[in-house]
Amino acid sequence: MGEAVQRRFLGLTAAVAALGMTATLSACGGDAASGDVTLKLVAADYGTGPENSSEKYWSGVASGFEKEHPGIKVDVTVLSWKDVDREVAAMVKDGNAPDIAQIGAYADYAKAGKLYTADETLAIRTAANFLPSLTDAGKVDGTLYGLPFVASTRLLFYNQQLFDQAGLDAPETWDDISSDAAALKAKGVDYPFALPLGQEEAQAETLMWLLSGGGGYTDDVGSYDIDSAENVATFRWLRDNLVGKGLTGPVAPGKLDRAKAFEAFTAGKVGMLNGHPTLMDEAEAKGVKVGMVPLPGADGPTKGSMGVADWMMGFKENGHRKEIGKFLDYAYSDENVLEFAEEYDLLPVTGSASAAMETDKKHKKLHEFLAALPNSSLPPFGKTSWATVSDAIKKNIGSAVAPGSNPESILGGIASEATQAEAAE
């Protein structure tokens, strides 16, 4: 967390504490709960197997909460990321919405009037503790519905051993990337720069490059700007200076999924790629010494980074507003936030937990990611059209870097789909 953000957070926290604002906003005008209530919680599984399943985490949180709040039970269901969004959507459609969901998207439910706002559920101290860059991405029409749960940022990763063997320094600019990749290719590296623009996660890889080129998915007022001059220039550079020169490896970027690129990196076959904290640990566990730098830009390191977040939300259907608020306040305690972040090498979403991680030497490897978070740019999660636009990017963006392609035409086609999706909201 940046010093300016930390000072603002600490000042606000002190002011809140001084005023003794410990009551929740949801208490305003709300009646006390009567009788036993069972909250239904559905969450995503971040684990890779039974030994680190998120089921253990949420069961522990639920147990601790129930001890502090007699009369409120929490029924926990944890589902894989492949299923959880679809399953929650089916529950909502069937009139059986959970009270709380921790999933990947919230905007459709907010637009349909199915979610409580943060003001209706959270204590002031909880709402004030979120990092502003994340809460901005959790809003629909200026109102916070999607509560950030965990976050991550991206840095450029490089294989330190391969760089040392080629006599290279860490890249700072796009020209550095191109020249370093050429040197790595000359040394026989399979993927000098792995560029995963396959359908698995192309929307994220794309945003990283757009930001480093001075563009993005939206303009300053939040309207889609996918085929901007900056974005077209970025993809022309990728086409001409990486893909066209054979520097992205044996698999065409449009066919290369992120999982395969990461697998190749941990096997020592990749010189450079854009990565996240989990990849860092996976690579080092397999003996790959990882170097990390901010995303290089056209003229120097990118000032901001791409951020990602998952979301927590409270559904109105069962009328458990007050109980939901109590649980969310408990779940967002520093102890719980840090426990989850530490388990999965992710970043906390609150100012106080971020400050604690920043000063803890055991998290030194995450400090660079943490420093990038306050100035990160997230995909436009608050747009209900984003799911459609994201899908269009996944399906088409890989062809924008193919030799002989026309990036302006391809980005223009995606932009047209974005306009239509916005109009249909």
Helix (H) or strand (E) holding 405: none
| Spatial distance between the Cα atoms of 98 and 341, rounded to a whole number of angstroms | 24
- Please say whether the dihedral angle defined by the alpha carbons of residues 141, 374, 58 and 326, taken in this order, is positive or negative: negative
The answer to whether residues 350 and 131 touch, using CB atoms and an 8 Å cutoff, is: yes
pLDDT of residue 424: 85
Q: Which two tokens stand for residue 288?
A: 């790959």
pLDDT values of the chain reduced to their tens digit, one per residue, 425 residues: 343 333 333 343 443 333 343 333 333 333 434 459 999 999 999 987 888 899 999 999 999 999 999 999 999 999 998 899 999 999 999 999 999 999 999 999 999 999 999 999 999 999 999 999 899 999 999 999 999 999 999 999 999 999 999 999 999 999 999 999 999 999 999 999 999 999 888 999 999 999 999 999 999 999 999 999 999 999 999 999 999 999 999 999 999 999 999 999 999 999 999 999 889 989 999 999 999 999 999 999 998 889 999 999 999 999 999 999 999 999 999 999 999 999 998 999 999 999 999 999 988 889 989 988 888 899 999 999 998 999 999 999 999 999 999 999 999 999 999 999 999 87
Q: What are the angstrom distances between the C-alpha of 294 and each of 212, 359, 371? A: 10, 21, 10
pLDDT at 35: 58
pLDDT recorded at residue 190 = 98
Structure tokens at 341: 């972040």
Question: How many Å separate Cα 235 from the centre of its chain?
Answer: 23
Write phi, then psi, for 388 (nearest 5 degrees): -65, -45
